[in-house]
Amino acid sequence: MNLLEAALNYAREGIPVFPVHGINDSGACTCGKSDCTHPGKHPINKGGHKNATADEQQINQWWNKHPQANIGIPTDEASKWYVVDVDKEKGIESYRKFLAENRDDVPTASLKVHTGGGWFSSDLCSN
C-alpha cells in the first residue's frame, strides 16, 4: 500500500488527513531547508491540520502533487484521537506520576505505537 492509498483508507473511515513533510534518502527533511527544526514532522500546506479532510478528491490532489508526503491526522474533535508522547528520559517518570494522579480521567489507549526513537512500553498506557 502506498501513502495515497493509506490516506484514502483513513478518509474512508471518516478520519481526516493532511500531507506532512517526510525524510528524504539523505536523512534531511523534504521541505529542503538545511536548518529545518522539525524534519519530517511539519505540514506541507499552510493551515496544516486545520485543512485536514476526508474528501477523496482533495486527498488525491495533495498526494498526486506530493506522493512521498507522510500522513498527518489532527488530534482533536475532527478525528476523536488524542496522543500522549512520552520522552525517553524524564518523561517516563512524569507520565507515571500523571497517571497515578489522574487515572480515572485518562481513557484506556486503544492504539499504542512504537515511536521513531525506537522506544515504547505498553505498560505505561494501560489503565
Q: What rounded mean pLDDT belongs to the chain?
A: 84
Q: What is the pLDDT of residues 105-115, one digit of tens each?
A: 887 777 666 66
Whether 30 maps to a domain, the answer reads yes
Q: What are the φ and ψ backbone dihedral angles of 72, each rounded to 5 degrees?
A: -100, 140
74: CB partners within 8 A, 6+ apart:
16, 18, 49, 50, 52, 81
The percentage of residues in the chain with a pLDDT greater than 90, rounded to a whole number, is 48
* Same domain for 113 and 56: no
* Same domain for 56 and 22: yes
Whether 81 maps to a domain, the answer reads no
Please report which helix (H) or strand (E) contains residue 109, including its range.
none
* Same domain for 59 and 9: yes
Greatest CA separation found in the chain? 47
pLDDT at 90: 72
* Same domain for 65 and 14: yes
Q: Which three cell numbers stand for residue 92?
A: 517516563
Write out the residue range of the structural domain in which residue 107 sits.
90-124
Q: What is the pLDDT of residues 78-114, one digit of tens each?
A: 777 777 777 766 777 888 888 889 888 887 777 666 6
Whether 103 maps to a domain, the answer reads yes
Whether 18 maps to a domain, the answer reads yes
pLDDT at 95: 82
How many structural domains compose the chain? Answer: 2
* Same domain for 66 and 9: yes
* Same domain for 106 and 51: no
* Same domain for 103 and 53: no
